């Protein structure tokens, strides 16, 4: 992600053109209030004009200041905060460093760069950076020591972690490269970092890359037996053919990682002049292809069964307008979201402040959006931490059709492909409204070049209906608070599906995690007259198999904890009906019963909507005004478990799907619930299932929540040709965290526009309202 190229733009499709000279000011600096804890001498002595962030980042580094005790405060001691994602320059330096470390020209030429990401620093380094090196300067993050803290003159150098695939030897290695200030300065790309370590990881295959996908498609389409098989189906124009390489997963020894394999799915468009035709409408069944992705050769090919291509369905396309037989709706009037004074959020680099929230935004090739250092500014209590790191760590999509090739569809879209690397540039189609702040994202491509996804992350405010309302029937007086939320999001495409990942921050202290699923279905072809019980027939000769989508939210919690403190525990809450008897003579009594999850194995839990089950992360040493421990609770939304037998092959790699909640004691490096390399993974239960066998204590710990939530998709006719968005997610809600509702001080709603009553007149002959 970029800081130098950050963007703040009006809403997509906004007709009010704003240029830089007339853009509204986001922050009234003279009236802005400090969001730091009281008693912060450094903050009080710093100029509000200097420290307050704006949507447009500073181009010149602010000057150094000095506290009353002579502590040097370097507002830009480093060009990047320790949690900022790697810049394009840093990625280039990391790649060049690793490539130059190759022992021979052949080794260097065969290096393929799967992933380059930041080595996340230890939490004490983050605390030091936030306390003294980067605004808004929060010395209270560090524990008090006698004689005052000893502040180093600079932070430790940033490091990059590279996953490198050697195309010649079929080996995967992990490299750690140090990036100092000098090394990160690019002068024609000649400067180098420093290799800290490198190791070959045996018996694994790293994620596939877009370059490999393109090469695989070209290989298959040029393969003579494949061309002959397509001619049998009436297709001679190979430009109409779509080849989607899918990882083979692991179903037996033939899928072992000693070879880098793909089993493509084949589809065929009907028209060459339609740029966005739904090619997934015509799956090609009966062709078996196995490709060696290392050497890019076809290992196996078999035309097993001639299944006719589904006929060209006139409803297959989604092109707007009348170009393909459809007619756009004409009765939709313009809807504008206008913020004439700009947004209420403030951004400095990747640091975001909104209402009483503040946090940092980052991005990784694998997870996509990452939220760091989530905190709430709570009056006299100052900055209160909620979480250190929030992300979507993995997702799995198992299909429920036992027929070939659909039984192999169990994609690990993060571990096998990379959610971040498949993210959209929202320049090509933004789905948000209002005043939007964009962030770019930088990745390495397979050959080591740097690619930028412009406008990758979207930050904006949304109206969210009523936050609170009450009318006193005695006085007739009414109060209403309008809810507003800050949304951080990105969207990625993996083959046919689109996934939107959202973190919503609310004014009453809630955090909502949401996934939106849309795109087009992955389909199968049918023989004439055939019907399959494992899917829905949606057009002649065409059916959509049943399947599930599972997402893993990884939440490194830090409720009311300063960096380095491990004072959290997790409590499970079930609502139970009181047994009939003296305590329940009216048979109406029920109560909430709490259970402390004392260890990792005890914390393997499932949702139970019948008991309104939820979980609370509590601080063991902080209390509210009633003397109860402060906490945040995880409230499940709709959910499910895998609809598969215990011996299902995909569960070898996805053992984490067996429970909705896992809790671990934080340990650096425990990041991927199915292990780092799920592609062709022959091992059983890597990742979470292995880590919890340590059965570490959770009674007072630095806890990490792993919440697995899913949706079972039984396709409908209405999911064709486009699949409307489905929503799934969960809430993190304050539970005894605040002494009263934060909604109390939300200003009463007056409305952003004049209320207008719309009085319909008589309908016209065509049934539409003729005049308003």
Active site residues: 413, 497
Nearest partner of 548 among 657, 451, 388, judged by Cα: 657
What length does the chain have?
772
Q: Is there a contact between 93 and 183 (Cβ–Cβ < 8 Å)? A: yes
Nearest partner of 396 among 692, 678, 647, judged by Cα: 678
Evaluate the CA torsion angle 454, 456, 460, 462 in order and state its sign: positive
Distance of alpha carbon 84 from alpha carbon 159, whole angstroms: 11
Could you say which DSSP state residue 171 is in? E
Question: What beta strand segments (E) does 606-752 contain?
Answer: 614-623, 629-636, 661-665, 703-713, 723-734
Could you say which DSSP state residue 681 is in? -
Other beta carbons within 10 angstroms of residue 305's beta carbon come to 11
Nearest partner of 536 among 309, 306, 719, judged by Cα: 719
Q: Is there a contact between 577 and 588 (Cβ–Cβ < 8 Å)? A: no
The phi, psi pair for 608, rounded to 5°, reads -145, 90
Angle, nearest 10°, between helix axes 224-232 and 210-221? 70
Other beta carbons within 10 angstroms of residue 103's beta carbon come to 7
100 burial (CB, 10 Å; 0-12 / 13-18 / 19+) is: exposed
> What are 697's two structure tokens?
């204590």
Evaluate the CA torsion angle 386, 387, 388, 389 in order and state its sign: negative
Evaluate the CA torsion angle 558, 560, 566, 572 in order and state its sign: negative
Question: What beta strand segments (E) does 659-698 contain?
Answer: 661-665
Nearest partner of 209 among 114, 111, 110, judged by Cα: 114
Report the run of H or E that residue 244 belongs to, with start and end.
strand 241-244
Question: Could you give the residue ranges of the DSSP H alpha helices within 83-191?
Answer: 88-100, 105-109, 123-128, 181-184
Could you say which DSSP state residue 426 is in? G
> What are 248's two structure tokens?
């083979």
The alpha carbons of the chain give a radius of gyration, in whole angstroms, of 28
DSSP codes, 532-591: -TTEEEEETTEEEE-EEEEEEEEEEE-TT--TT---EEEEEEEEEEPPSBTTBTTS--EE
> What are 62's two structure tokens?
């602010």
Distance of alpha carbon 482 from alpha carbon 747, whole angstroms: 8
Nearest partner of 108 among 163, 147, 166, judged by Cα: 166
Nearest partner of 746 among 507, 465, 510, judged by Cα: 507
Distance of alpha carbon 3 from alpha carbon 360, whole angstroms: 12
Distance of alpha carbon 432 from alpha carbon 489, whole angstroms: 10
Distance of alpha carbon 225 from alpha carbon 430, whole angstroms: 42
């Amino acid at each position: 992600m970029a800081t130098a190229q950050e963007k703040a733009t009006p809403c997509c499709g906004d007709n009010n053109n704003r240029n830089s000279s007339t853009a509204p000011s986001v922050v009234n600096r003279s009236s802005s209030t400090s969001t730091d804890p009281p008693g912060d001498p450094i903050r009080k002595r710093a100029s509000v004009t200097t420290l307050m962030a704006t949507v447009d980042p500073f181009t010149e580094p602010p000057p150094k200041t000095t506290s009353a005790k002579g502590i040097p405060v370097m507002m830009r001691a480093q060009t990047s905060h320790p949690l900022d994602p790697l810049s394009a320059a840093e990625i280039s330096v990391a790649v060049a460093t690793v490539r130059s470390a190759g022992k021979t020209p052949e080794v260097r030429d065969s290096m393929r760069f799967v992933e380059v990401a930041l080595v996340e620093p230890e939490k004490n380094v983050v605390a030091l950076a936030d306390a003294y090196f980067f605004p808004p300067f929060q010395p209270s993050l560090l524990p008090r020591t006698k004689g005052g803290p000893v502040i180093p003159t600079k932070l430790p150098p940033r490091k990059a972690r590279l996953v490198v695939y050697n195309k010649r030897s079929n080996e995967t290695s992990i490299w750690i490269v140090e990036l100092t200030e000098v090394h990160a300065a690019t002068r024609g790309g000649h400067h180098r970092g420093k290799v800290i370590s490198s190791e070959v990881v045996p018996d694994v295959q790293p994620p596939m890359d877009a370059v490999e996908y393109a090469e695989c498609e070209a290989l298959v389409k040029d393969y003579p037996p494949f061309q002959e098989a397509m001619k049998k189906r009436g297709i001679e124009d190979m430009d109409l053919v779509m080849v989607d390489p899918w990882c083979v997963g692991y179903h037996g020894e033939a899928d072992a990682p000693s070879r880098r394999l793909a089993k493509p799915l084949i589809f065929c468009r009907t028209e060459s002049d339609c740029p966005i035709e739904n090619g997934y409408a015509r799956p090609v069944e009966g062709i078996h292809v196995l490709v060696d992705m290392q050497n890019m050769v076809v290992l196996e090919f078999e035309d097993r069964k001639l299944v006719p291509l589904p006929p060209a369905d006139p409803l297959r396309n989604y092109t707007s307008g009348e170009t393909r037989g459809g007619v756009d709706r004409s009765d939709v009037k313009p809807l504008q979201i206008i913020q004439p004074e700009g947004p209420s959020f403030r951004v400095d680099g990747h640091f975001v402040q909104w209402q009483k929230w503040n946090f940092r935004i980052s991005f990784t090739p694998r997870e996509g959006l990452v939220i760091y250092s989530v905190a709430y500014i709570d009056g006299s209590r100052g900055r209160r931490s909620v979480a250190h790191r929030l992300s979507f760590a993995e997702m799995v999509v198992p299909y429920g059709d036992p027929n070939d090739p659909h039984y192999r569809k169990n994609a690990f879209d993060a571990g096998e492909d990379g959610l971040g690397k498949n993210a959209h540039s929202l320049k090509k189609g933004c789905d948000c409204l209002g005043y939007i702040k964009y962030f770019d994202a930088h990745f390495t491509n397979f050959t080591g070049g740097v690619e930028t996804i412009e406008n990758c992350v979207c930050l904006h405010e949304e109206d969210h209906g009523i936050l609170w309302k009450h009318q006193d029937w005695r006085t007739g007086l009414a109060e209403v608070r309008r809810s507003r939320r800050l949304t951080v999001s990105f969207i990625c495409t993996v083959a046919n599906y689109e996934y939107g990942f959202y973190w919503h921050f609310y004014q009453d202290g809630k955090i909502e995690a949401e996934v939106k699923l849309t795109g087009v279905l992955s389909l199968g072809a049918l023989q004439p007259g055939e019907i399959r019980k494992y899917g829905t027939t949606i057009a002649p000769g065409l059916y959509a198999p049943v399947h599930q989508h599972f997402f893993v939210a990884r939440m490194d919690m830090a409720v009311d904890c300063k960096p380095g403190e491990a004072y959290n525990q997790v409590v499970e809450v079930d609502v139970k009906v009181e047994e009939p008897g003296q305590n329940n003579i009216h048979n109406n009594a029920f109560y909430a019963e709490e259970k402390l999850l004392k260890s990792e194995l005890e914390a393997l839990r499932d949702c139970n909507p019948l008991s309104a089950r939820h979980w609370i992360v509590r601080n063991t040493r902080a209390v509210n005004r009633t003397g109860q421990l402060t906490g945040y609770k995880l409230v499940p939304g709709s959910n499910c478990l895998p609809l598969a037998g215990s011996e299902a092959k995909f569960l070898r790699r996805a053992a984490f799907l067996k429970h909705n909640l896992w809790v671990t004691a934080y340990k650096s490096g425990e990041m991927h619930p199915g292990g780092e390399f799920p592609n062709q993974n022959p091992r059983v239960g890597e990742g979470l299932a292995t880590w919890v066998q340590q059965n570490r204590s959770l009674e007072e710990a630095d806890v990490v929540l792993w919440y697995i939530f899913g949706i079972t998709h039984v396709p409908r006719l209405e999911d064709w040709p486009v699949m409307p968005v489905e929503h799934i997610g969960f809430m993190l809600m304050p539970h005894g965290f605040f002494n009263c509702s934060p909604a109390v001080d939300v200003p009463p709603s007056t409305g952003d526009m004049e209320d207008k009553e719309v009085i319909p007149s008589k309908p016209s002959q065509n049934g539409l309202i003729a005049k308003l």
